[in-house]
Structure 1
Amino acid sequence: MIHHVLLACPPGAEDSSRAFYVGILGLTEKPKPPALAARGGCWFTGYDVELHLGVEADFRPARKAHPALLRPDLDALADRLARAGHPVTWGDDDELPGMRRFHTADPHGNRLEFVAPLPDHTGRSAPGR
């Protein structure tokens, strides 16, 4: 089991990180321990995942490497992201058998993937695109 995933962000990116990860993705900000808070960045939790955004002075976004996060509200999330101006690129369901998925980018350009099981793999129905 993974405790958390860390993504890098540029210095001073905490407000835009909060707007995206809390405001759009619906995660909750988790207070950083005091010894780490001085380094900047922010931590988020929700949907059985913990994401840490850590400040990197020579920041470059992760455009290939990415976390794939399970979300039951895949279509609603894709709509919220698109309405907020974030790219939503749906993957071919055949590429990752049993899963529907799309990619987007956080405000810093880091690639994120969101996935949900297809109905025939869980016994439950997944909403259509």
Structure 2
Amino acid sequence: MITALDHVQLAAPPGSEPALRTYYGEVLGMTEIPKPPALAANGGLWFARGPVQLHLGIDPDFRPSHKAHPGLRVAGIAAFATRLAGHGAKVVWDEKLPGHHRFYSEDPVGNRLEFLEPIG
């Protein structure tokens, strides 16, 4: 029986860790968590914020996903969008999901990310 989502993994190209560390750590405000030593040799980074974990794995044949994406719930979505835009991230609002404010953006390597906040 599935009881929870443990993490989401996104792919990234070799050598992108510094840009990803800045984006996920400084811009999104997530905390980098250590990878187990047996996995650290593969490169990549892991981040967490509360119960949410994002793992970024290195893929030599990386191609960003323009459709598949994690949906990240945020509090204060307008201020969060302003924060991302202030760091040069593209913010594309989409009001098609009933009961939510949401926008899409991309990380530094082109992975699509959805940010949403329930209305009311």
TM-score normalised by L of structure 1? 0.88
Q: List, as ranges, runs of 4+ consecutive aligned residues in structure 1 with deviation greater than 4 Å.
A: none
Q: Would you say how many aligned residue pairs link Structure 1 and Structure 2?
A: 117
Structure 2 residue aligned with 1:100: 101
Is this contact kept in 2: 1:91–1:103, CA < 8 A?
Answer: yes
| Residues 1:11 and 2:20 are matched in the alignment | no
Q: Which runs of 5+ in 2 are unaligned?
A: none
| Partner residue in 2 for 1:125 | none
Return the offset for 1:80.
1.2
Is the CA contact (8 Å cut-off) linking 1:47 and 1:71 kept in structure 2?
no
Q: CA RMSD in A?
A: 0.8
Deviations for 1:51-103, whole angstroms, at most 9, x for unmatched residues? 000000010001111011101131121111111111000102xx211111000
Contact 1:31 1:43 in 2 (8 A): yes
Identity of aligned residues (%): 53
1:1-129 matches, cutoff 5 A: 1-92=4-95, 95-119=96-120
**Cα distance in 2 for residues equivalent to 1:5 and 1:78:** 21
Matched-pair contact (CA < 8 Å) for 1:47–1:70: no
Instruction: Return 5+ residue gaps in structure 1 as ranges.
Output: 120-129
Amino acid in structure 1 at the alignment position of 2:51: D
Which range is displaced more, 103-112 or 70-79? Answer: 70-79
Q: Secondary structure at the match of 1:26?
A: coil
